[in-house]
Amino acid sequence: MTVTTTETNRQIRLKKRPVGMPAPGDFEAVASPRPAPRDGEVLRRTIYLSLDPYMRGRMSDAASYANPVNLGDVMVGHTVSQVVDSRHPNFRAGDIVTGYDGWQEYAVSDGKDLRKLDSSVPISTAIGVLGMPGMTAYVGLLDIGQPKPGETVVVSGASGAVGSIVGQLAKIKGCRAVGVAGSAEKCRHVVDELGFDACVNYKTDDLVNALRDACPKGIDVYFENVGGAVFAAVLRLLNKFARIPLCGMISEYNVTQNPGGPNLRPLLVHRAMIRGFIVSDHYDRFPAFLQEVVPLVRDGRIKYREDIVDGLDAAPWALIGLFEGRNFGKALVRVSPEDPGTG
């Protein structure tokens, strides 16, 4: 049983399962009592909440690799928080931690799910470039994509949380990095700020021809984030023994009818390998990821962009924005200020 106080804890709960694109009415904001820690527990205040495309899957009760959020439950999500009250020997008030507290202002637990953060990098990075999305880029590209110097790596969703890191890691590994993104501004950012060699705008460019121009030696690794027409175009340009880490297919998360699919014959002809992966199966690689990528972020060799909205109530709108391409960088909600004194 949770002990509560007279103070409130604002939460956003799942009210309805969406059909197609999620809508603001699928969520419900509730002021519930703020929990209090019992012996062995830690209470924390959410500072940043991560918004990620997988949340669409949790809103649905279709069979998937993870259980859905029950109707009436708080939406799930990675968080960065500050400990406000601790009755746990390993945590003190003021500690900054990352966990999975979901869409709410306060959370309490026995602390097993928490990791303390140091202050050598901005704390928001723990749920972005140095958290689940960065880790997804790392294992998907390096372990599954196995890029070799001189090869061409194409990544879709190139300006986003995962794709932006994939392309920068590909450059660091000596590859040609080509992005696919949904606006001229995003493409400019990917090339000018992140250092990709080229970027194709899938909304305005002739995909096959633009990709052919951007990849004169063909495609050796395609890091798949979106599916649909981009995937179909890439398949036509694969090199022999190409690898395709199948990370996500965001163009299909809200479809209500079977979207069909491209002709897979090029996989056979080119002896290509496609492998779906879920980052949570690969957390044995987390220490290696941090060891390699933290210094790159600290030195500015890997850059990241965050798209932060203020206030928990903006979370539904910002989540929907992921499926409309409204976010430009890692989507985060600032639920409360880093330093509450500065309000």
Residues that bind ligand NDP (CB under 6 A): 52-54, 133, 136, 157, 159-163, 181-183, 186, 225-226, 228, 247-248, 250-251, 277-279, 322-323, 325, 327, 331
Judged by CB, which is closer to ligand NDP: 277, or 286?
277
Judged by CB, which is closer to ligand NDP: 136, or 336?
136
- Supply the minimum distance, in Å, between the C-beta of residue 103 and ligand NDP: 16
Sign for the pseudo-dihedral over CA of 193, 309, 181, 102: positive
Name the phi and psi angles at 244, rounded to 5. -125, 95
Judged by CB, which is closer to ligand NDP: 37, or 53?
53
The Cα–Cα gap between 206 and 155 comes to 17
Nearest-Å Rg of the Cα atoms of the chain is 21
Judged by CB, which is closer to ligand NDP: 106, or 138?
138
- Supply the minimum distance, in Å, between the C-beta of residue 278 and ligand NDP: 4
- Supply the minimum distance, in Å, between the C-beta of residue 251 and ligand NDP: 3
- Supply the minimum distance, in Å, between the C-beta of residue 182 and ligand NDP: 3
- With a CB cutoff of 8 Å and minimum separation 6, the contacts of 214 are 154, 178, 197, 198, 199, 200
* Contact (Cβ atoms closer than 8 angstroms) between residue 157 and residue 226: yes
Partner residues linked to 44 by β-bridges: 83, 107
Judged by CB, which is closer to ligand NDP: 5, or 204?
204
Classify residue 75 by its DSSP letter.
P
